Structure 1
Amino acid sequence: MEHDARRYFSLPSPFAMKRGGELHGAHVAYETWGRLNDARDNAVLVLTGLSPSAHMASCEADPSPGWWEAMVGPGRAIDTSRWFVICVNSLGSDKGSTCPASVDPATGEPYRLSFPQLALEDVANAAHAAVGSLGIQQLACLIGCSMGGMSALAYMVLHPHSVRAHISVDTAPQAQPFAIAIRSLQREAIRLDPQWNDGNYDIHATTGGTYPDMGMSIARKLGVITYRSAMEWNGRFARIRLDPEQREDEPFGREFQVESYLEGHAQRFVRNFDPNSYLYLSRASDWFDIAEYGNGSVLEGLKRIHIEQAMVIGVSTDILFPLQQQEQIAEGLEAAGARVEFVALDSPQGHDAFLVDIEHYSPAIGGFLSRLAMT
């Protein structure tokens, strides 16, 4: 089995951005697993949520576990003994792709807020260019998770006939007010941190320095709260209090286990994702609307996507991308002529279910890809 760790694709220069401006000398990071067959028709592309890197699964060159480790590999749902699997890190993400923390070749300094406005269409176009560089004209399947699901819709509407089948995972055809409100608060937490300093913090500081730790911490906590469901919070933590020695010795300090859990998540995230990149990708998620391609109608926008078949998966406990939005995607793709399977799961984990509820997602995704291989 041939494996590659992180690789880089240089985007066409200049690379025009949807909302104006262009990038020069930009690139995206990606990883691949499995082999591309002689017909070049067994490629599966995965587009990620806001924060993951291209390291979706371990490989010989990088044996560390990937963010979807249990889903990808020989004999797993996304079977790398059958499929040539590609995961592209989003343009604008600091996990290897050109982003606000990257050096602007025109100035020799990091872009920071001079980075052009970012749209998920730009993410899609960059991924499409990377796929084309591998000699692939049509993907066997495009898988999009969370924000990556919106990027996937953009990919398919902007590049007709470049995708044969699609798996839509916990995503939406447009951001709803609740999701926009949450992301707006996350961005506000970062922007109101004095250490953010209008984007002029110490980009590469791992400790110390000027860095919006507090803003990033609050943003992450808000995110984690919405990624899971109230049902799961109740089941995991109830009202269990911390032991006295674990509590903060300050007014109104952490007292409950759930608060400590959120703090742990925040601390692992804070210096591991560039704040400006977070702001750009978060806003790009709010801006995306497939209805732009259908004269203001989500259904008409989706009808412009031409694929053979699709599976749309959602969970009833997802408050960020509710099941109703998965139904919209399924109806639209069906109206466009695709054979669509709709899978509604009752996982208690909420939006993050696709990352943790592998026992339910794996048979769905694996079954769809197995049937696709036989057609």
Structure 2
Amino acid sequence: MSEFIPPGTRFLALDAPLPMKRGGRLQQGRLAYETWGTPSAAGDNSILILTGLSPDAHAAAHADNPAPGWWEAMLGPGKPIDTDRWHVVCVNSLGSCKGSTGPASLDPETAAPYRLRFPELSVEDVADAAGRVVDALGIDRLACVIGNSMGGMSALAFLLRHPGRARAHINISGAARALPFSIAIRSLQREAIRLDPAWNDGAYDQAHYPESGMRMARKLGVITYRSALEWDGRFGRVRLDSDRRADDDPFGLEFEVESYLEAHARRFVRNFDPNCYLYLSRSMDWFDIGETFGGDTDAGLAAIRIERALAIGVGTDILFPLQQQEQIADGLRAGGAASHFLPLDSPQGHDAFLVDIARFGPAIRGFLDAL
């Protein structure tokens, strides 16, 4: 059981229990976050960034941690999210292992890791926890909430559950509810972890760790994060050189794409806690913004009250397909927002927002410049 916390991370200790949507309360939790820029005198220039499943709060370099962040090209002085103008807060999701309290954290009642004793986690809990950080920083009203992937779900939950706390929203490759295909993929990922004998009902350690299960889960994820078009253009059917193949394994790695997936998975497996992965993954499957509206997702979106919104998606995204971002834009418009849907023609699938800055950057900059 391990936590992986970037240098320079800031922490908020919860001074009151956090009620969890599906029951129970989180006692003595903490939330990890990082900030960039300076709050304006009027208090009207703060932006909240909510992340996908695996990122930490280190979205970009800053004085306390000059290492590049996961959204380095997007965030900083003069960049699309310009920290010369905006005060930006990025919160590590509750339930993660990157500084915020999650299954890998110590349970104050037992002084042992929570493991599967951690309360059932929902996207709404992630949103409420981020709200605690916003409150602690003295931000009465956010200029904008930006959510990527799972963060797009968290952002919608935040806006619905905390009305009046934000003027605008950018939803990037997000969704108002989980679709069957995405649920199926995440179910297989969780099954791969749970069927690894070393998972041991969540009671693993570094010496007995579900490495094979995590590798398979990550490979499945990476396959869906990019598009078939990119896989073909990047790797084709190129085979590994003979010296990179395992002679004693007739079914071992043979193609460059297999080698890429293996290397990507191995970099991930010891840097993310398996139980945290299970909890966060399941929270996405459970999410539907229309749950309290009789399952009417459009009604849930229309109940959100903001001034402006932008929903961006990519035509090659199979995990959060374009119709989900269009639904978000239409639903927020029905609620009175000046809402725009922007489909982008990127070959890089769901992960395009991380790498295709040439397309995403101008769209995000243009929206923020108009606030």
TM-score range, shorter chain: over 0.9
Partner of 2:221: 223
Contact 1:26-1:98 at 8 Å conserved across structures:
yes
C-alpha distance in 2 between matches for 1:297 and 1:12? 35
C-alpha distance in 1 between matches for 2:347 and 2:196? 33
The match for 1:85 among 88, 107, 114 is 88
C-alpha distance in 1 between matches for 2:295 and 2:310? 24
Partner of 2:273: 274
Cα distance, 1:265 vs structure 2 = 0.4
C-alpha distance in 2 between matches for 1:317 and 1:125? 32
Cα distance, 1:13 vs structure 2 = 2.6
The one-letter code sitting in structure 2 at the alignment partner of 1:274 is: D
Contact 1:306-1:337 at 8 Å conserved across structures:
yes
Q: Does 1:138 align with 2:141?
A: yes
- The two structures, once aligned, show a CA RMSD in angstroms of 0.9
- TM-score (normalised: structure 2): 0.97
Contact 1:31-1:86 at 8 Å conserved across structures:
yes
Cα distance, 1:168 vs structure 2 = 0.3
Identity of aligned residues (%): 65
Where does 1:1-375 land on structure 2 (aligned, <5 Å)?
5-202=8-205, 205=206, 209-249=207-247, 250-372=249-371
Contact 1:124-1:151 at 8 Å conserved across structures:
yes
C-alpha distance in 1 between matches for 2:121 and 2:15? 17
C-alpha distance in 2 between matches for 1:334 and 1:311? 10
Deviations 1:221-245 (A, max 9, x none): 0000000000000000111100011
Deviations 1:130-172 (A, max 9, x none): 1011111110000000000000000000000111000000011
Cα distance, 1:298 vs structure 2 = 1.0
DSSP 3-state at the match of 1:104: coil
Cα distance, 1:251 vs structure 2 = 2.1
Cα distance, 1:12 vs structure 2 = 3.8
Contact 1:5-1:32 at 8 Å conserved across structures:
no
DSSP 3-state at the match of 2:34: strand
DSSP 3-state at the match of 2:366: helix
DSSP 3-state at the match of 1:174: coil
Cα distance, 1:341 vs structure 2 = 1.8
C-alpha distance in 2 between matches for 1:198 and 1:75? 48
- TM-score (normalised: structure 1): 0.96
Q: How many residues align?
A: 364
Cα distance, 1:39 vs structure 2 = 1.4
Q: List runs of 5+ in structure 1 lacking aligned partners.
A: none
Task: Point out 4+ residue stretches in structure 1 off by more than 3 angstroms.
Answer: none
Contact 1:293-1:300 at 8 Å conserved across structures:
no
C-alpha distance in 2 between matches for 1:370 and 1:13? 37
C-alpha distance in 1 between matches for 2:42 and 2:294? 38
The one-letter code sitting in structure 1 at the alignment partner of 2:109 is: A
C-alpha distance in 2 between matches for 1:157 and 1:13? 22
C-alpha distance in 2 between matches for 1:289 and 1:120? 9
C-alpha distance in 2 between matches for 1:12 and 1:125? 14
The one-letter code sitting in structure 1 at the alignment partner of 2:91 is: V
Cα distance, 1:94 vs structure 2 = 0.3
C-alpha distance in 1 between matches for 2:16 and 2:211? 35
Cα distance, 1:353 vs structure 2 = 0.2
C-alpha distance in 2 between matches for 1:369 and 1:164? 11
Contact 1:295-1:301 at 8 Å conserved across structures:
no
Q: List runs of 5+ in structure 2 lacking aligned partners.
A: 1-6
Contact 1:150-1:171 at 8 Å conserved across structures:
yes
Cα distance, 1:320 vs structure 2 = 0.5
